[in-house]
Amino acid sequence: MTMRRIACVALLATSSIATAQSVDRTRSAEARAAATVQAMTPEEKIRLLHGPMPSLLPAAKRPAGVPIGAGIIMGVPRLGIPDLTETDASLGVSNLNDLRKGDVATALPSGMALAASWDPVVAREGGAMIGGEARDKGFNVMLVGGVNIVRDPRAGRNFEYLGEDPLLAGTLVGAQIAGVQSNHIIATIKHFAANAIETGRSVHTVDMAEAPLRESDLLAFEIGMEKGDPHAVMCGYNRVNGVYSCENPFLLNDVLRRDWGFKGFVMSDWGAVHSSEAILKGLDQQSGEQIDGKRWFSDLMQTAVSEGRVPQGAIDTSVRRILRTMYASGVVDHPATGGATIDYARNGAVALRAAEAGIVLLRNEGGVLPLAATARTIVVIGGHADIGVLSGGGSSQVRPVGGFTLEERQTGGGAASFAKRSYGGTAPLAALKAIRPDAQITFVDGSDPAAAAAAARSADVAIVFGEKWSTEAADNKDLSLDRNGDALIAAVAAANPRTVVVLETGNPVAMPWRDRVPAIVAAWFPGQRGGEAIARVLTGAVNPSGHLPVTFPASLAQLPNPVLPGSDAVPADAATRATYGLMAGTKPFAVTFPEGADAGYRWYAAKGLVPLYPFGHGLSYTSFRYDRLAATGGKALTVRFSVTNTGQRAGADVPQVYVTRPGKAKRLIGWGKPMLAPGETREVSVVADPRVIGDYDAKARRWIVPAGAYGIEVGPSATQTSLRAQVRLSKQTLKP
């Protein structure tokens, strides 16, 4: 027997032993991963560290029998390791890369709408639904879990995220991730970290001291990871304090693994890798390698190992993390084969409930809503309300069941041009007609404000749809409505005093016409069944219960950065693109957030600013009373109070609890969402997370809750207080 054959036989024997160990489900995920690593060849190990975006591959080179999604990491069949098949995103199974098949999926409402529900149950139910669809389509990795804190209302991806407060955002993203992963697939919390704006996202650096970073952006991730236990983390495009997120040892090794004990793996965002040495700094996997332009974790990684720049032990560590995750998640033992029949009607009902829960009634003077039975002539104006609802653009966009009824390519160049402004799902006009067959309901497209005003003048009620589209890769220049929407609303309101405005937006918007309209509804990007949800709220079939997860500023002057960071950045030249990657649109620049840890409502409270609408605001068709407040201190802060429905119809409320202490902005410490029948009373209890009320000491690497007096405020928003109390807390020191 030749030495080569002896070696092959030995490899096969080792492989057989390792395979037997790895399929033994009584062993821990760590033990199974270690056994598999031992049996792998160097080439097989490298295979798990990188992968392409299948849609960018020539058809002949695409892996056979694999769903075309965001990416693929090839497995090791001889050891029972399946491919990792990846799909976007938080709002459903994104099919942007497989349109030639006409594939569709159930589109949830935007992340902002989910956050407006303030309801972890809704978040988990939606996550379980989209995770199930992903699995049924053959995907075992879903790029779910966007939890970047909203710091600027012009940011293009805010619609994907979960608002401006770390406790609210972290709680909801954790619930969503838990729902997704209940399907034995991997979810990825993202974009780690401080990925707050799209302008220059691949070149800018967010410069912030550790303490405020820990108390805001990082806290949202920390809470989300504790509640959802995501199997993977996706690092972002941007730099943090001068170092790229995907090769930032402070973020990936110190915070994520040392302090938080994360055992999963870190994947890059598509186009966010800049070196093979990133593996030494915490990155485990290069995603969508064509976007980077260089195969840093493939051919170049092999070169780095042979030259001694990357030790083999670093490769083994990353491979072991990936394999451990695959075993722990159930990806190996419960393979997603695809081809299942999907019950889109059932899943659509989940999307409908989510949309209804997230719609916010901002204004309702004179009880214009719900629409009265006496409103017999209704004109619906603008927003393509006759054909569907608006969706956000970019990688999170889901092609809804039934497809898009209208797709408009954007003009003017720039990063937004790659996305389409799209309308689909159920149409508000048809839904209103179905609920109100007794009324004469007509539609005017709103392109001519004078014609719209004329139609409104003769109607009992006018319903105007205002829009502001948002997309990944581009920030909005201001807060004005698109397509002269502000002028349209002003013209209609002047013609009809019973004008209702429905906003389909991904962000807060300005409202120069606010005081001239009696009713305003924030519907966000409401998803697959959005038209029905809007109609059901307008007609009173559903009592609105959404509350704002972001502050609506009165003007850009109120923002910490009135001028959008990077809006005056110098365009990238060839040298910049070569140095920073294919996605570099501008030369590098620094972003600072003057508010630090006090993002959103905390900034407004600290500066004494009165916003257009405060964080937490939301109205109902019934009324509520808060009483019997009891707060206790000592080593733990506990708050209890009662909520009573004092109105004539059932409804859900969102009572919020805030804490204040000298020298600090107020902070949300908890909330409830009781559904109450008329006259019903329920108790709400909140126990404060010490990190939310405390401070992070960067030198000591500890959370500290100072001893002293703490003010308690209970109310329906960050600026309205119904109950007050004060307690004294003992000093507490916590580990990170």
Provide the pLDDT confidence category of residue 13 given band limits of 50, 70 and 90: low
- The secondary structure of residue 261, as a DSSP letter, is -
CA distance 279 to 243: 14
Q: Give counts: helices (H), strands (E), the chain.
A: 20, 31
pLDDT band at 416 (very low <50, low <70, confident <90, very high): low
Would the pLDDT of 22 be above 80? no
Contact residues for 308 (Cβ-Cβ < 8 A; gap 6+): none
d(CA 525, CA 108): 9
> Which of 356, 249, 378, 277 shows the shortest CA–CA distance to 675?
356
Nearest Cα neighbor of 46 from 306, 396, 385, 238 is: 306
Domains defined along the chain, listed by start? 40-329 (3.20.20.300), 361-539 (3.40.50.1700), 624-734 (2.60.40.10)
Q: Is 254 helix (H, G, I), strand (E, B) or coil?
A: helix
* Rounded CA separation 476/471 (Å): 9
Q: Please give the average per-residue pLDDT across 567-572, as a whole number.
A: 91
**Cα(563)–Cα(556) distance, integer angstroms:** 8
Q: What was the pLDDT predicted at 7? A: 45
Confidence of residue 721 (pLDDT cuts 50, 70, 90): very high
Length in residues, the chain = 736
Which residues are bridge partners to 651 per DSSP?
676
Does pLDDT of 565 surpass 70? yes
Unique residue bearing structure tokens 């689909």: 424
Long-range CB contacts for residues 266-269, cutoff 8 Å, separation at least 24: 266/192, 266/232, 266/233, 266/234, 266/235, 267/188, 267/232, 267/233, 267/234, 267/235, 268/234, 268/235, 269/190, 269/191, 269/234, 269/235, 269/236, 269/237
- Tracing tokens 């009173």 back to the chain, one arrives at 540
Q: Which residues pair with 257 in a beta bridge?
A: none
Q: What is the dihedral of CA 306, 307, 310, 316, to 10 degrees?
A: 10
Section 122-149 average pLDDT: 97
| C-alpha closest to that of 87 among 307, 397, 432, 469 | 397
pLDDT digits (tens, 9 = 90+) for 304-331: 999 999 999 999 999 999 999 999 999 9
CA torsion 68→69→75→78, rounded to 10°?
Answer: -30
What percent of the chain is predicted at pLDDT more than 70?
95
Question: Can you tell me the mean pLDDT for 461-467?
Answer: 98
Q: Which of 161-165, 334-338, 591-595 has the lowest mean pLDDT?
A: 334-338
Residue 656 pairs with which residues in a beta bridge?
A: 671, 715
Per-residue pLDDT at 644: 98
Classify residue 604 as left (phi > 0), alpha (psi -120 to 50) or beta.
alpha
Q: Quote the distance between the C-alpha of residue 262 and its chain's center.
A: 21
Cβ contact 207:241 at 8 Å: yes
SS3 of 158, please? Answer: helix
pLDDT reported for residue 101: 58
Amino acid at 655: P
Burial of 298-335, coded b for 16+ CB within 10 Å and e otherwise, reads: bebbbebbeeeebeeebbbebbbbbbbbbbbbbbbeee
d(CA 443, CA 263): 55
- Select from 181, 163, 182 the least CA-distant residue to 171: 163
**Residue 584: pLDDT band by 50, 70, 90 thresholds?**
confident
Q: How many CB atoms lie within 10 A of CB 685?
A: 12
| 8 Å CB contact between 469 and 506 | yes
* Interhelix angle 120-136/344-358, nearest 10 degrees: 150
Closest CA to 130 of 78, 86, 91: 91
Residue 547 has a pLDDT of 99
Rounded mean pLDDT, 363-375:
97
Strand arrangement of the beta sheet that strand 243-244 belongs to: 243-244, 239-240, 205-206, 590-591
Judged by DSSP in three states, 123 sits in helix
In whole angstroms, what is the distance from residue 288 CA to residue 96 CA?
14
Q: Is the pLDDT of residue 23 over 90?
A: no
* 157 CB-near residues (< 8 Å, 6+ apart): 146, 148, 198, 394, 396, 470, 472
Helix (H) or strand (E) holding 114: helix 111-117
Which residue type, as a one-letter code, is found at position 617? H
pLDDT at position 548, please? Answer: 99
Lowest mean pLDDT among 97-106, 134-143, 351-360, 392-401: 97-106
**Closest by alpha carbon to 581, among 246, 279, 252?**
246
**Residue 111: its H or E element:** helix 111-117
Q: State pLDDT tens for residues 597-621.
A: 999 999 999 999 999 999 999 999 9
**What Å distances lie between residue 237 and 55, 663, 733, CA to CA?**
21, 34, 34
**pLDDT bracket for residue 374 (50, 70, 90):** very high
- Give 99's pLDDT tier (boundaries 50, 70, 90): very low
Taking alpha carbons only, the member of 527, 485, 483, 478 closest to residue 507 is 478
pLDDT band at 61 (very low <50, low <70, confident <90, very high): confident
156 burial level (CB within 10 Å; 0-12, 13-18, 19+): buried
Measured distance CA(269)–CA(685) in Å, rounded = 39
Which residue type, as a one-letter code, is found at position 107?
A
DSSP class of 678: T
6-20, 190-204, 508-522, 636-650: which range is least confident on average?
Answer: 6-20
Q: How confident is the model at residue 62 (pLDDT cuts 50, 70, 90)?
A: confident
How does the average pLDDT of the chain come out, rounded? 94
**Residue 622: its pLDDT value, please?**
98
- Dump the DSSP string for 403-415: -EEEEEE--S-SG
DSSP single-letter state for residue 252: I
Q: What is the pLDDT of residue 674?
A: 98
Report how far residue 275's alpha carbon sits from residue 277's, in angstroms, rounded to the nearest whole number. 5
Above 50 in pLDDT, residue 413?
Answer: no
Check whether 5 has a pLDDT greater than 90: no
Residue range 507-538, pLDDT digits in tens? 999 999 999 999 999 999 999 999 999 999 99
Lowest mean pLDDT among 78-87, 280-289, 334-343, 534-543: 334-343
- Token representation of residue 259: 């302090």
The burial class, CB within 10 Å (0-12 / 13-18 / 19+), for 392 is: buried
pLDDT band at 16 (very low <50, low <70, confident <90, very high): low
Average pLDDT estimate for 669-674: 98
pLDDT at residue 414 in the model: 53
Whether 102 shows a pLDDT value over 80: the answer reads no
Bridge partners, 711 (sequence order)? 660, 726
Residue 516, number of CB atoms within 10 A of its CB: 15
Task: For residues 286-298, give the mean pLDDT.
Answer: 95
Residue 19, pLDDT above cutoff 80: no
Highest mean pLDDT among 4-13, 16-25, 57-66, 525-534: 525-534
Query: If we measure between CA atoms, which residue out of 392, 394, 465, 471 comes closest to residue 424?
Result: 392
| Contact predicate 519/501, CB 8 Å | yes
